[in-house]
Amino acid sequence: MPEEKGWAGAVPELYFDLIGRIPPGLFLSVVLLVLTASNYGWLKADIAGSGWSPSVIGFVLLVVASYSIGLLISPIGKRTNDHNWASAWEMAARKETFLLQKAQPYLNLNVRFDDEDSWGKLTRQERGLVFRHMHEVLKVNVPEAKLILPRLAAELTFMLNTRVAIGLASALLLFHWVFVNWPIWQRSIWKSPNVYMAASALILAYLASHYSAKERTQHLVERHFAFLGVFVNDKISEPSVIGQGGLGRLSPLSRERR
C-alpha cells in the first residue's frame, strides 16, 4: 500500500470531500453559464466597479457555486445508487457472515448476524447505521483505513454526482435546444452532425459514470470488509479469522498485518 498511502496521506479528508463535489458541480455550473450567458451583464458591471479583480471574484464565485451544486445533487446521487449499494453489501455480508459475528461485540451494534440472511432482514435505516458506524470505527482503529476509505468514498461521491450532473445537464440542453429551435420539425438542424455528436458524447459519459459508480460501490464495500478483518484480527489475535470467507483475496492488507 505504499503508493496509496504516500499521496493519500498528504490530502486531508476535507479535500477528498471537495474532490467529490466540486468537479461535478463545476460541469453543471458551466452548462448553466453557457445557457444563460447573456443575463449576467449587471454582474460584470458590479464586479468591474468594485475594484476587485474580475478574474479572482469570478473564480471564487464559480468554486462556491460548484461546491453548492455538488452538495445539492449529492442526495440524489446517493438515492440513485441504493440498488447497487444494497446488492454489494448483501453479497459481502452473506460471504462474510462469520466475520460479522466475530466483529459484532466490538462494533456495539443493536443488530445480530445469526446467519447469511441476517443482512437482508435489516431495514434501509439499519443498514445505513451499520455502515456509518463500521466506517468510523475502522477509520479510528485501522491506520490504513483512515487514509483509504475517505478517498474511496470521495471517488464514489464523484461518480454518483457526475452521473446526476450529466443527466441534469442533458435535460437542460435538450430543453434549451427545443425551445430555441421550436418548431424543431421545421428546422434543418437534424442534418447537422454536431447534434448527434453532442448527444452521443453525453450518453457515453452517462454510461461510463454509471458503470464506474457501480464498480466503485463494490470496491468500497470490499475494502470495508477487508479492513474489518484487520480490525477483528487485532482485537482477538486470531489470524484464522482473517482468512475466513476469502478476506485474504479482497485486499493484501490482511496478509500484511498477519
Letter for the amino acid at 189? I
Distance CA 160, CA 79 (A): 9
Domain limits of the chain? 81-257
Distance CA 9, CA 22 (A): 21
Mean per-residue pLDDT of the chain: 77
E strands along the chain, which residues? none
Q: What is the pLDDT of residues 115-158, one digit of tens each?
A: 777 777 777 788 888 888 888 889 888 888 888 898 899 999 99
Q: What is the pLDDT of residues 186-235, one digit of tens each?
A: 666 666 677 778 888 889 999 999 999 999 999 999 999 999 988 888 87
Distance CA 81, CA 213 (A): 8
pLDDT band for position 26 (cuts 50, 70, 90): very high
- Per-residue model confidence (pLDDT) at position 74: 93
Q: At what angle do helices 54-80 and 41-50 cross, to 10 degrees?
A: 130
pTM equals: 0.73
Distance CA 221, CA 124 (A): 16
- Per-residue model confidence (pLDDT) at position 184: 63
Q: How many Cβ atoms are within 10 Å of 24's Cβ, its own excluded?
A: 28
- Per-residue model confidence (pLDDT) at position 250: 34
- Per-residue model confidence (pLDDT) at position 95: 85
| Of 153, 132, 128, 143, nearest in space to 18 by CA | 153
- Per-residue model confidence (pLDDT) at position 223: 92
pLDDT at 248 over 50: no
More confident residue, 253 or 228: 228
Look up residue 35 and give its three cell numbers: 445557457
Helices then strands, counting H and E runs in the chain, come out as: 12, 0
Q: How many Cβ atoms are within 10 Å of 234's Cβ, its own excluded?
A: 13
